Amino acid sequence: MTRKEILRYLGKVLAFLLALCLPFVLLIGCIGFVPETTQQSLLYTLHYKLDLLRDTPGGDRILIAGGSATEYGADCQAIADATGRPTYCVGVTAYLGMQMYLNMLDRYAQPGDTVILMLEHLMLRNTGVDYLVLWQACGTDPDAWACVPPDLWLGAAASAGRYLAQRWPTDWTPLQGLHWTSYDYPPGQTPHSEDFGPSGNVITPRTNILEHKYNTQDMVSLSADILDKDTVNAIRTFTDKMERRGVTVLFSHAPLNALCVTSDAAENEAYARAVRQKLELPVLVDYPDAIMDGALFYDSNNHLNTEGAALYTQKLIEGLARQDMAG
């Protein structure tokens, strides 16, 4: 092909991509004029986590990513005290999908940072993305949507009506005036639930509130064959890219309530072994240590209470020490 033909071809490709993106961008733009009323929700903390990634000095950070188990299980200040390195929790919920977090970290992790993928089994199974949760977390924040994988845009567009119906205040009409929802907050001052501390993890004192010390409707069976091939490949591709950038990537199993696990010890070990072999990452908290007593959980089978978080955090610190990352 001649240079002119190549440029013409690239122009057509660019025009096609713009044609795909523009309707979705316009949709987000329109919804952005509807007032948002969920600044104290757990999901809204995604904006604060993105600000932590963007605004905190990079090069020596420990960034803990994963589902909501990260927020309830890792005491960032305790890890920072033990390692002498600023530590931040950037996880929100498993229902945003694994690729969302990989994109966030790819965008903001800097040479010298350490990433801990503290993953719930759901994220390695790839049970899918909840599009309403995705909308509730991202809102109309361009920074958040820039991290959403493009293959989710169509599903997100199809779910926009449900989100708009939920977002629309009962006492508001466009006749009252249109104002664009801005997410441009001063560093460290993005609104988020008071349950969360400045490092992104839950700091509110909490005890077990589950009737039987576990959620009886959320039983878990583990085995070596539940790992999703595409998710494993995405993590390995991400790890290779981070290694070239000078970012260290580590893995840790998120805490799991022992009372909800129906698989036996041999099946659990087979699952853990498959994770080690396929991800090829140093493991900070492995099985059976990540399977913890039911009394240590709060309101779900992977949300630790205050006592449980202290115990799990100590396991993380010991794992970091084995990697020569704890003082």
- Whether this prediction's pTM lies above 0.75 is answered by yes
Q: What is the pLDDT of residues 153-205, one digit of tens each?
A: 889 999 999 999 888 888 888 777 777 788 888 888 888 888 999 999 999 99
Q: Which long-range contacts does 152-156 make (Cβ < 8 Å, 24+ apart)? A: 152/97, 153/20, 153/21, 153/24, 155/129, 155/131, 156/24, 156/131
pLDDT value at position 7? 64
Confidence of residue 299 (pLDDT cuts 50, 70, 90): very high
Give the mean pLDDT of 49-58.
96
**Within 13 Å of residue 234, how many CA atoms lie on the same side as its CB?**
20
* Complete DSSP assignment for 137-154: HHTT-HHHHTTS-GGGHH
Q: Is the pLDDT of residue 1 over 70?
A: no
SS3 assignment, position 254 = coil
Confidence of residue 8 (pLDDT cuts 50, 70, 90): low
Percentage helix, strand, coil, to 5, in the chain? 50, 10, 40
pLDDT value at position 11? 59
Q: What is the pLDDT of residues 301-326, one digit of tens each?
A: 999 999 999 999 999 999 999 999 86
Q: What is the pLDDT of residues 101-114, one digit of tens each?
A: 999 999 999 999 99
Measured in whole angstroms, the distance separating CA 38 from the mean position of its chain's CA atoms is 19
pLDDT value at position 38? 73
pLDDT value at position 16? 46
Confidence of residue 77 (pLDDT cuts 50, 70, 90): very high
Q: Is the pLDDT of residue 42 over 90?
A: no
